[in-house]
Amino acid sequence: MPSIPCAAITFFKQSDIRIFIIVRVGGTENPDKRFECVLKQLGAYGPKYFWIQVGLPFTTAQIEGSCPDSDRAESMEGSIETDTAVMDPALIETRIGPAGKTLPELYRQFLIEYPARLADARMKTIRGFDLRFDSVMSAALALNQTLQSWNYSDEMQLGNSSFKAELMRNILKLDFIGLSGRVVFDSNGDRTSVVMIYQLRNLSRHLVGTYDPIENVLNWTSKFWFAGGSPPVDAPELLTRQLQLSEAGTIALTSASSIGIAVSIATVAVNFHYRELRLIKMSSPLVNNVIGAGCLMCYASCIVMAVNSHWAVSTGLCWTQTALLTIGYSAAFGAMLAKTWRVHRIFTNVKLRRVAIKDSHLFAVILLVLATDIVLLIAWGIIDPLTVKSVSLPS
């Protein structure tokens, strides 16, 4: 086999192509370079590959000088071959002809009636006898039909283009039962025959289906066998997958946030329990509780984010996460801002006048910050609400 097919197969392997259709004439291949031997050398066989051979592959034929049959059987295992009912050697010797006899029987009768044919080297085998007979019969029937509708004489020129066109039309109209089966021609003048579909198992043909182009009927007689249990994939498989937080990341984030929530609750509980102590009382324990509640909401927003990024994605969870983070952050830092503002007022009192800043004043600052957040969230929801959208990233 020339090096060009080898290079082509190597290129297709590198391109990850796995299902092939090859037109092959096995008789033209060198014995040591038979196609199945080359496949064995290149490794283009097995569960990943599937070969469909049309033409005259002669895969099952043993040729001296070829690679071992074990290599050929391994490289061609499960491949498909097609043949025609006209040329299939398995059918030629068993087909019952129009005379009610098999082809070998008709051939023996022919040789008895025409013993001179025994000297013809081309007629020492039954292979092709039926095709030769049907070819002559087709020509005779078409000529007979053409001459019946044509004004002719002994001096008629058979090369006349009109005569040849009429003869061709009559050939295309032929439909009779010959020695090789039903004789019908397609629009190109080629013999139309039932296509036999075989699958190779250990260099033996197994019929899996037939196709009748005349009736346009495809008939499967058995299931295909695949080395890997299923047909090989001949194209990249595109998997659509949602990008999400990993399970390990979700567990880590949820655990850390849960610890933060526990610390926030413990801090608020200690602050509430010792609220009458002088130092805690001076630090405004109610405002401290607001700071703790704000931290708790921030940690809770992290848990909602983990759930929304790993298990379920919804607009409701998006809004919950946004609201918890926004209000929690504003509550915690708003309370600290209010307390910082009170300290600032006290220590910037140049005239040392008594300044009474009650917790109600601090809560007014906190509520102002929270009200601003709430207004912005409402406006956001009305003007440009959050929506869940699927976006396909480049492959």
DSSP letters, 75-117, are HHTT-EEEEETTT-HHHHTT-B-TTSSBHHHHHHHHHHH-GGG
The predicted pLDDT at position 391 comes to 82
Q: Which of 45-49, 164-168, 296-300, 314-318 has the highest mean pLDDT?
A: 296-300
User: What single DSSP character describes residue 1?
Assistant: -
pLDDT mean over 173-187: 84
pLDDT digits (tens, 9 = 90+) for 138-176: 999 998 888 887 666 555 666 667 888 888 899 999 988
CATH number of this structure's domain 1-84+194-233, picked from the four choices 3.40.50.2300, 3.40.50.1260, 3.30.70.100, 3.40.640.10:
3.40.50.2300
- Give the confidence band of 2 by pLDDT, cuts at 50, 70, 90: very low
Above 80 in pLDDT, residue 236?
no
Residue 309, H or E segment? helix 285-310
* Out of 127-136, 155-164, 310-319, least confident range: 155-164
Q: Say if 1-84+194-233 and 89-150+159-193 have the same CATH topology.
A: yes
> Whole-angstrom Cα distance, residue 275 to residue 267?
12
Cα–Cα distance measured from residue 83 to residue 57, given in angstroms and rounded to the nearest whole number = 10
Per-residue pLDDT of 49-82, as tens digits, reads: 999 998 878 888 778 888 888 888 999 999 999 8
Structure tokens at 313: 């994605």
Residue 92: Cβ within 10 Å count: 22
pLDDT at residue 308, rounded to an integer: 85
Give the span between the Cα atoms of 148 and 238, in whole angstroms. Answer: 64
- Architecture of the domain made up of 89-150+159-193: 3-Layer(aba) Sandwich (3.40)
Look at residue 89 in the predicted model and tell me its pLDDT: 60
User: For residue 213, what pLDDT is reported?
Assistant: 86
Q: In terms of DSSP bridges, do strands 50-56 and 80-84 run parallel, antiparallel, or are they unpaired? A: parallel
Q: With contact defined as beta carbons under 8 Å apart, do 52 and 266 qualify?
A: no
Is the pLDDT score of 133 beyond 70?
A: yes
Task: Indicate the pTM of the whole model.
Answer: 0.53
Domain boundaries, the chain: 1-84+194-233, 89-150+159-193, 247-383
**What is the structure's pLDDT at 378?**
93
DSSP secondary structure letter of residue 384: S
Task: Check whether 195 has a pLDDT greater than 50.
Answer: yes
The H or E element that residue 54 is part of is strand 50-56
Are the CB atoms for 206 and 81 separated by under 8 Å?
no
Q: Which of 94-103, 161-170, 267-276, 277-286 has the lowest mean pLDDT?
A: 94-103
- For the segment 260-282, the average pLDDT, to the nearest whole number, is 88
